[in-house]
Amino acid sequence: MSLKEKVQAVIGGDLVELTDFRGDLCAEVPKGRCLQVLTRLKEEGGFDFLSDVIGMDNLHLYEKKKQKKGKKAEEETKPEKQGPPPPRFEVIYLLLSLETGERLQIRVRVPEDDLELPTITGLWRAADWPEREVFDMFGIRFKGHPNLRRLLMWDEFQDHPLRKDYPLEGKGEERHLNYDIG
Amino acid sequence: MDLSLNGEGGNSVTKQVETICITTGPIEYSEYVTLNIGPIHPAMHGTLRVITRTDGETIISAKPEIGYLHRGVEKLGENMSYAQFLPITDRLNYCSAICNNVAYEMAVEKLLGIEVPPKAQLIRMIMMELARIADHQVCVGILGVDLGALTPFFYLIIQREEIYEIFEWHHGARLTNSMGAIGGVEADLPDRFHEKWPKLRNTIRKANDETDRLLTHNRIWMDRTIGVNAFCADDALNWGFTGPMLRACGVGRDLRKDEPYLMYDKIKFDIPTGKHGDVFDRYMVRMLEMEESVKIIDQAYQLYKEFPDDAPLMKKVPKIIRPPEGQIYHAIESPNGELGFFIKSDGSDKPYRIKIRPPCYMVYQAFEDLVKGEMISDLIACLSSINVIAGELDR
Amino acid sequence: MGFQAIQGEGWLLAKAEQLINWGRSRSPWPFPYGTACCGIELMCALASGYDMARFGAERVAFTPRQCDVLIVAGTITKKMVPVLKRIYAQMAEPKWVLAVGACACSGGVFRTYSTHQGIGSVIPVDVYIPGCPPRPEGILYALLKLIDKIEADHPLYKQRSKVIEALEAAK
């Protein structure tokens, strides 16, 4: 049984999309079912090692695609059907099966108006800091996380730096402690 | 006080109280002492900070605080072309910059779908293993320094200078190497390498032997390391441990064997494993890995000699790299463990998102579990044996 | 050094300033504030092989209260700036600062939201060392430059003008 079939069998009806790029399999699952799918993958699928949790902001990706579509529409003079815009953020879980050495990416899309996901620290404690980092960098909350605070930036920092609308050189934030000298 | 969903950075509390509250929980009157170690502390490697609560000398809780070297590498990568990002990867794990370079190059090559010429692969392997030896030497030396054994550090660092000499001949830099390019390596092994290596391999072994004689059976060393921070394999896997930390727990997982890249599948080498996962096992695993690295370089050098002088070193890649749309994750075995690069491309000349999976990040998050119930002085031993490199920890 | 030996019972004649400078310049005890890559090269400079102790930097002080030269080696992030200020304020006079590497000098390649662009805007720096990272020789050369600077200093003269200013203010 190939990895693709195995993943299809384990995830079953919750699978939205399964893409394969250069041998890296990426399965998209709906946001509400993410915890159940990951539990099943760990217990039935044999993906027992969490490599990383990655956040992503797709703001510019969709802007660019819209531009491309716009050009095409001008050429073809046919307005394409436009569904609701895809959710802005996504979280990718990198799983690994220690037995077979197979890797799998699980993608969960998170809309901008509902930035909350269930935590997976109950399944893998390895998700502790990566989830905090995603919260720090993108502002996605993980419900039930034991200690959801900023990880890399200081606590008084207001923005989420890895969002695409945050400038590279920052907005001039400085860190001050109230017992600072001078 | 529930801090689980503490607003956007918790602005409700005043700053100073907040710093204490957030890091150690609510202030309560107890017999425990809160002790802050770092970020500027000789044993904290520059930028690490641990806030401990102790009962006498026994640690009740230890909360690591990181981010003091967060330089925005990932955001910087999104604003640079693929080739420009290569020198930035040096500054991640600066003890073994070559492993970072090769990991990034291989990730981009996977994104492009190309394979580098075999001779270039061998050169990469030789240089990576040299970097691994240098990294382990620093780790073992610093572990000794932090536990009060200063002498091995001086033996190892002289020896490491010779490895740096080879790096300097090959690509012109001691520490931040920026070796190779996307598609291969830029230069053949330097002529002086052929004379140097037979001597160097003996001096590496000699330095290791001296360190071994100074430390391994030393009574004080054994008392300070054996049985300290013992960790079981199941917990280690659950916490996402990789590399020497995992192998010390008894799991013989090594990406060079499990997911062979470059030409590691053509080379015979052993994976040293420990049993108890304590500081002594981590130290032994690192010492034995240096021996294995010497073996790997010997074999790779034999394979390298079979190629003619004018064998190609670079695959042709376009000047401006525009990979197709898609996302990949590629990991290699760096000296600290699984070093992975996740790159998403949107078809333009800049990566859309780069995420680095640093090996020591996953280990360091389990720090509280590792040191709970130990003494304060064992915390220092534990931290040094993890080999936390702040550059790749905070990125 | 400007000492003058007078023949006879082992007398040495020198200006008090020269004597103070001689003492200060021969024992610049460093505080290694190594945060990143430059810290590794600083380690090399301090260890065998390059051996910074040859120039008087013999005792590496791991407390800011017992050192003379603050060697800032590595990137200073915005999160770290208050800590750096504090460490500098804790040092006893006289104190000097070496900025090692491009990051400490100007922020280096990291022109990002979280990196402080050069420590010169936070604490006074005596010698800047370029390079990413500079070689240990570079760090040793900077230390020699700093020693030159200490030797050309006028510690008592500065003190004297301060006293006069205070007296005039009291009048």
Q: How far apart are CA B333 and CA B100, in angstroms?
A: 10
Name the pTM for this structure: 0.87
Q: How far is C79 from chain A (nearest CA, A)?
A: 6
Chain B: residue whose CA lies nearest to C50? B158
- CB of B122 within 8 A of CB of B354? no
Q: How far is C58 from chain A (nearest CA, A)?
A: 30
Question: Of A22, A103, A149, which is closest to B3 when you measure between CB atoms?
Answer: A149
CA distances, A106 to each of A8, A19, A20, A21, A96 (Å):
12, 10, 12, 14, 11
Cβ pair A174:C78 closer than 8 A: yes
* Residue C51 counted as domain residue: yes
Q: How far apart are CA B109 and CA B364, in angstroms?
A: 30
Q: How far is B221 from chain A (nearest CA, A)?
A: 31
Residue B3: pLDDT above 50? no
Question: Of A154, A169, A182, which is closest to C112 when you measure between CB atoms?
Answer: A169
Cβ pair C85:A170 closer than 8 A: no
Instruction: Specify the 3-state DSSP secondary structure of C24.
Output: helix
User: Which uninterrupted H or E stretch holds A73?
Assistant: helix A59-76
Residue B1: pLDDT above 60? no
Q: What secondary structure letter does DSSP report for A85?
A: P
Specify the CATH number for the domain of residue C86: 3.40.50.12280
Number of domains in chain C: 1
Strands C96-100 and C127-129: parallel
Question: What is residue C59's predicted lDDT score, i.e. its pLDDT?
Answer: 82
A contact test, residue of B19, B327, B388 with most A CBs within 10 A: B327
Contacts of A60 in chain B (CB under 8 A): 346, 352
Question: How far from each other are the two terminal CA atoms of chain C, in whole angstroms?
Answer: 39
Chain B: residue whose CA lies nearest to A63? B346
Q: Computed from CA positions of residues C50, C27, C88, B16, in that sequence, does the dihedral angle turn out positive or negative?
A: positive
Cβ pair A129:B365 closer than 8 A: yes
* Residue C171 counted as domain residue: no
Question: Of C40, C49, C75, which is closest to B175 when you measure between CB atoms?
Answer: C40
- Domains of chain B and CATH, by start: 74-394 (1.10.645.10)
pLDDT digits (tens, 9 = 90+) for B42-96: 777 778 888 888 888 888 888 888 888 888 888 888 888 888 898 888 888 888 8
* Residue C125 counted as domain residue: yes
B107 touching A (Cβ < 8 Å): no
Q: How far is A31 from chain C (nearest CA, A)?
A: 31
* Residue C157 counted as domain residue: no
A contact test, residue of B3, B108, B114, B238 with most A CBs within 10 A: B238
Q: How far apart are CA B378 and CA B228, in angstroms?
A: 7
pLDDT digits (tens, 9 = 90+) for B338-353: 888 999 988 888 888 8
Of chain C residues 79-118, which have a CB less than 8 A from chain B? 79-80, 83, 87, 109-115
Chains in contact with chain C (at least 3 beta-carbon pairs closer than 8 A) = A, B
B259 touching A (Cβ < 8 Å): yes
C contact test, residue of A137, A151, A154 with most C CBs within 10 A: A154
Residue B17: pLDDT above 50? no
pLDDT digits (tens, 9 = 90+) for B300-330: 888 888 888 888 888 888 888 888 888 899 9
Upper half-sphere CA count for residue C24 (Cβ side, 13 Å):
22
C78 touching A (Cβ < 8 Å): yes
CA distances, B349 to each of B59, B82, B325 (Å):
50, 7, 11
Question: Of B5, B66, B110, which is closest to A151 when you measure between CB atoms?
Answer: B66
Residue B273: pLDDT above 70? yes
Residue A26: pLDDT above 80? yes
Instruction: Specify the 3-state DSSP secondary structure of A55.
Output: strand
Q: Provide the domain limits for residue C79.
A: 27-152
C163 vs A68: which has the higher pLDDT: C163
Contacts of B88 in chain C (CB under 8 A): 109
Q: How far apart are CA C80 and CA C163, in angstroms?
A: 36
- Chain A / chain C CB contacts < 8 angstroms: 37
* Residue C77 counted as domain residue: yes
- Chain B / chain C CB contacts < 8 angstroms: 86
- Domains of chain A and CATH, by start: 3-123 (3.30.460.80)
pLDDT digits (tens, 9 = 90+) for B125-147: 898 899 999 889 888 888 888 88
Cβ neighbours around A114 below 10 Å, total: 11
Cβ pair B10:A155 closer than 8 A: yes
Contacts of A150 in chain C (CB under 8 A): none
Cβ neighbours around B10 below 10 Å, total: 16
Contacts of A167 in chain C (CB under 8 A): 113
pLDDT digits (tens, 9 = 90+) for A69-102: 665 555 554 445 556 677 888 889 988 888 888 8
ipTM at complex level: 0.86
Cβ neighbours around C80 below 10 Å, total: 29
- Give helix then strand counts, H and E, for chain C: 6, 6
Q: How far from chain centre, in Å, is Cα A103?
A: 16
Q: Among residues of chain C, what percentage have pLDDT more than 70? A: 95
Cβ pair A168:C112 closer than 8 A: yes
* Residue C40 counted as domain residue: yes
The whole-chain average pLDDT of chain A stands at 81
Residue C131: pLDDT above 70? yes
Question: What is residue B13's predicted lDDT score, i.e. its pLDDT?
Answer: 36
B71 touching A (Cβ < 8 Å): no
Q: How far apart are CA B95 and CA B167, in angstroms?
A: 13
A165 touching C (Cβ < 8 Å): no
- CB of A127 within 8 A of CB of A146? no
* Residue C80 counted as domain residue: yes
* Residue C158 counted as domain residue: no
Question: What is residue B6's predicted lDDT score, i.e. its pLDDT?
Answer: 34
pLDDT category of residue B7 using cuts at 50, 70 and 90:
very low
pLDDT digits (tens, 9 = 90+) for C3-54: 666 666 777 777 778 888 888 888 888 888 888 888 888 888 888 888 888 8
Instruction: Specify the 3-state DSSP secondary structure of A7.
Output: helix
